[in-house]
Amino acid sequence: MRRAPRRLLPANAERLLAALLTFFILSVAFAAPARVVVEIDVAAERAVDARSARRLIALELADVALPRQNAGRPAELFVRVLGREGGSLRLELWERGEFHGARALNGAGENPQLFARRVALAAAELGRRLARKREAALQRDARLKLAREERERRRREGTQDGPVALRSELGFAFVPGRLWLGGSKVTSELTLRGALRLDIGAEGWAGHLRAVGGSALYGVSLGPAYRVSLSPSVDWDVAARASVLSLQVPASRSLDAIPGQQGSWTALVALSTRLELRLTRQVRAHLGLEGGGLLRAVSYVGRAGNEDLRGPWASAALGLVVTPP
């Protein structure tokens, strides 16, 4: 059996090489000799042969392939040769009203035609400098475009996280030896910063209280949470919460040492961990475990006498996390 050829470079490196190759092909396709206009003022004509300077500047700049910023508009270079005192010149390069550098040349005592050659070489150097700057800008734009495309690809492939999500759960909970419950929770996940968020939830439970029978818990909760991406399709979530719970025991003869009372309250603090599996970009399925403890004990009268609802709390839940697009 023939083995598949091994990939020599990572996928991201291949994309970068492809983008750079495309850039070089396009830069060659869109690089062309610029249209050149030369202006020589009266003061400069005293030091340099104007006719030779115009011809030589045009010839030298014709060898400079200037990448186009706009594929539909060829470059138009404007060269100004300005005379200064003592036979010196100031050479300026412009393109469509934008200044691109200057050179100062001293031609005192030099043959005007030879000085024209030096002026043309200086103009060519300014043109090559502009071409290098333009190529660097195009390379930078190509890298930025590639980075944007990579971020967009990761965004499309990754699970959407925040700024708001809704988590619904079905589960069971118990206080060992005292209370067994089944119920559901609904939680709003509000992103604070990055992977840190605030969870605000509501819950309802129904079950069996030892020595009494049917009971129910209703409450609201608040706490911080943090989600870690293990892979593009699997996340690990940790959270803490504090809850205030209303306890209802219809068959109770006494709650909190008050005869005939059937309702009381307690509080809960808990830590939870969840493993979340991506189903779609906006939907995750999760399995979670929670452990904590009741902060307030509730006394009641059962069949065997006085009892207390207190101790550790444990629960497990299965549910969905939905993030609106």
Digitized pLDDT (tens) for each residue of the chain, 325 residues in all: 444 445 444 555 556 555 555 554 444 444 556 688 899 999 888 889 999 999 999 998 888 887 776 555 667 889 999 998 888 899 999 988 889 999 999 888 788 889 999 999 999 999 999 989 988 988 898 899 999 988 888 777 777 888 999 999 999 999 999 999 999 999 999 999 989 999 999 999 999 999 899 999 999 999 999 999 898 889 999 999 999 999 999 988 889 989 989 999 999 999 999 999 999 989 999 999 999 999 999 999 877 788 899 999 999 999 999 999 8
163 cis-preceded (ω within 30 degrees of 0): yes
Q: How far apart are CA 128 and CA 55, in angstroms?
A: 18
Stated as kind and residue range, the H or E segment containing 49 is: none
Burial (0-12, 13-18, 19+ Cβ within 10 Å), 4: exposed
CATH hierarchy code of domain 164-322: 2.40.160.20
Query: Domain extents for the chain?
Result: 11-157, 164-322
How far is C-alpha 289 from the geometric centre of its chain's CA atoms? 30
Token pair, residue 205, equals: 């439970």
Close Cβ partners of 111 (under 8 Å, ≥ 6 residues apart): none
Spatial separation of the C-alpha atoms in residues 101 and 214, rounded to whole Å: 88
